[in-house]
Chain A
Amino acid sequence: MTAGLLLGVVVQGVMTGLVYGLMALGLSVIFGVIRVVNFAHGEFAVLAMYAAWVAFTWWGVDPIVAALPIAAGCFVLGFGLQRWLVSPFVGRAEHEQFILLAGVAMVLVNLLLMGFGPDARPVNLPYALDSYEIGPVILDKARLVAAAVAFVLTGGVIGFFRFTRTGTAIRACADNLLGAAVVGLDVKRLYALTFGIGLACVGAAGAMLVTISDASPVLAHGFTLQGFIIVIIGGLGSLAGALLGGVLIGVCEALAGFLWQPSMKSLFSFLLLVAVLALRPQGLLGKRP
């Protein structure tokens, strides 16, 4: 084993982690503001993967290009879902919210299964199998492009929340709901916008994930679980934390797989989760409640 191979594994982990981070960002945004945990998170990511597959197979659109329209579609879907389905459950018992969104997840997965069947749907991009060799490190082109776009989009979302009036208003709702209502903010609309933005992140991430992994309904549970691990490690509600959590999980899994057994990758993710919960329960970049 050489240092070059090890470096290559770390770089692979970082690239995969950036895409995971964008996906988890959606979960973090929704929970951070609305305080509803989206248990259908992975299912929406898989829905976006299928949308990217359709765009590529029917119209030849590269999933990276399709990421923006898919994100826009997911935004509209999220906005509508929050407005007409999730909104009545905000503030209700957590188990009721769980059942609602777990139900949405089941419906989505089974609709995908009925519509597309159980076979994994590949997007065979012309550059899907290309790679760059930089010294001892081999960089997979599709993953590199997906990671770069994920990094830019994550920066864009963080910038939106920090520097725009709407973003500031949403943060105000998250910090002090009563205060936000008193100063006249339309909380319901802002919640719907937040859910929309959360799903848009998931949509963009899903579109990029299809360049790494074939679209299949089977992936949904894994994505949801992975999203939870990432946001808990990074800190629930912390946008930068989601990105950091994604990269940490990506690198941790890659190193564990390379240095020990690949089948033990998930074990190390969970060990990291347990360590963070024990030592810093609010997550690495989360605020203490």
Chain B
Amino acid sequence: MGGLTRRGLAAGAATLAMPAIVRAQAPVLKVGLLLPKSGYLAQAGQSCHRGAMVAPKVLADFGMRIEIMDVDFESNVDMARTQAERVINAGAHCIVGPFESGAALAIAQVTEQRKIPFVINIGAAPQITEQGYQYLVRNFPTGGQLVTNGLALIKDLLAATGAQPKTAVFVHANDTFGTAQRGAMDALYPRAGLPIELLDKIAYDPKAQDLSVEVTKIRALNPDVLLVVTRSADAIKLFRDMVRQRYTPKAIISPGSPGMYDEEFYQGLGPLADYAITNLPWANFNAPMAKALEAAYTPASPRYRFAAECFNAGFTFEALLVAADAHKRAGTTDGEALMKAVRATNLAEHVMTGGPITFDAKGQNPNIVSACVQNRNRTPTVVLPVAAATEKPVLPMPGWQGRS
């Protein structure tokens, strides 16, 4: 047996001192990331997920450490509630997600009860921040904000192009988000001062196998403008049936919804995807953090273009940023202290368009602004506001035939 050496003593002393060193550091923040990675919202959920997967590395470069606990809630609201419980039991200090408003409402009940911060990446239903939840913040516009900004941008669009459409039909998915957008349209459209008569509002099931009847109904009304609130799969069906039924509106505009800027939409429709317009918050490509995210994203997901994914990836990254920043300031993973830090967030440096990320008393970020994004050569392109535009808007859009 060897005798006691100086090296052995040093190692022993270091081992004895370790718990104290560990205690002095705040543990890594474990973030339960709840997204619909399968089910009918899988395309968007996976897109958000790709943004989240590069977040730990990018945040580490900005001096923040997080560990992601990745959970799929299968586009099912009940599953979202169950999975939130499960991931908190497994040690999550904070929840981020879930892309869908219905799921957000379900998760909020759990996080409120368990006193765990919940940072919503995407989910616009106004009621999320109207129910007095203390452990929830939303870094995403409400449906009302989206529609208000979206309608204001339509006005700007008409002024910029000189187009004078007279009539419109509003077509929307009848899920939680789509119905909330319908409510916002009902309340805000009459006050928006747009010179376009709204002929009808048509709700459809986003899980429908085809939308031919919906398009026949639209064709019967023959509006100049189609205002849409869709997801990508149903937007593809809608466009195809419009082409088949030989109906060409002067413009197809989303006053704030996903669908028409997704990679799936471009792949499914090719040139027919061009000239559709979506008014919603977009990545600020001049921001250093957006550049850092894009630089990490591109090699991690070479099959996907950041230009088309930046909405989902950007907002998901920002939600993780909010959590990581709060953890860094709070220096603890205790739910109450962490939530206090989340509510005190003031992040001037971030990814998406708009002012600094802050939260009002209801937990809503009021500083997010929208841009007018038109599809050009299968790429979402900012055309308004002029300061952020890379191309000029095209209105009325060219016919379906002869596009390449």
- Using a CB–CB cutoff of 8 Å, the interface residues on chain A facing chain B are 1-2, 5, 8-9, 12-13, 16, 110, 113, 117-120, 122, 124, 128-131, 133, 138, 140, 143, 209, 212-214, 216-219, 222, 253-254, 257-258, 261-263, 265-266
Given contacts A122-B267, A131-B244, A262-B203, contact A9 B236 (CB under 8 A): no
Establish whether residues B268 and A120, one from each chain, have CB atoms under 8 Å apart when the complex forms: yes
Establish whether residues A138 and B244, one from each chain, have CB atoms under 8 Å apart when the complex forms: yes
Interface residues on B, range: 35 or more
Nearest-Cβ distance from residue B211 to partner chain A, whole angstroms: 7
CA A261 to CA B202, docked complex, whole Å: 7
Instruction: List the A side residues contacting B245 at CB < 8 Å.
Output: 131, 138, 140
- Among the stretches B33-41, B103-111, B284-292, B344-352, the one at the interface with A is B33-41
Given contacts A216-B233, A262-B203, A263-B203, contact A113 B42 (CB under 8 A): yes
User: Which A residue sits closest to B179, measured CB to CB?
Assistant: A263
Establish whether residues B208 and A265, one from each chain, have CB atoms under 8 Å apart when the complex forms: yes
User: Which A residue sits closest to B267, measured CB to CB?
Assistant: A122
Establish whether residues B203 and A213, one from each chain, have CB atoms under 8 Å apart when the complex forms: no
Nearest-Cβ distance from residue A16 to partner chain B, whole angstroms: 7
CA A133 to CA B245, docked complex, whole Å: 9
* Secondary structure call for the B interface: helix
CA A128 to CA B207, docked complex, whole Å: 21
Instruction: List the A side residues contacting B268 at CB < 8 Å.
Output: 120, 122, 124, 214
CA A133 to CA B252, docked complex, whole Å: 24
B121 within 8 A of A: no
Given contacts A120-B268, A131-B245, contact A212 B209 (CB under 8 A): yes
User: Which A residue sits closest to B232, measured CB to CB?
Assistant: A120
B43 within 8 A of A: yes
CA A16 to CA B272, docked complex, whole Å: 24
User: Which A residue sits closest to B247, measured CB to CB?
Assistant: A138
User: Which B residue sits closest to A213, measured CB to CB?
Assistant: B209
Establish whether residues B209 and A222, one from each chain, have CB atoms under 8 Å apart when the complex forms: yes
Establish whether residues A262 and B244, one from each chain, have CB atoms under 8 Å apart when the complex forms: no
Nearest-Cβ distance from residue A48 to partner chain B, whole angstroms: 15
Instruction: List the A side residues contacting B205 at CB < 8 Å.
Output: 262-263, 265-266
CA A122 to CA B75, docked complex, whole Å: 21
Instruction: List the A side residues contacting B155 at CB < 8 Å.
Output: none
Establish whether residues B46 and A118, one from each chain, have CB atoms under 8 Å apart when the complex forms: yes
Nearest-Cβ distance from residue B137 to partner chain A, whole angstroms: 28
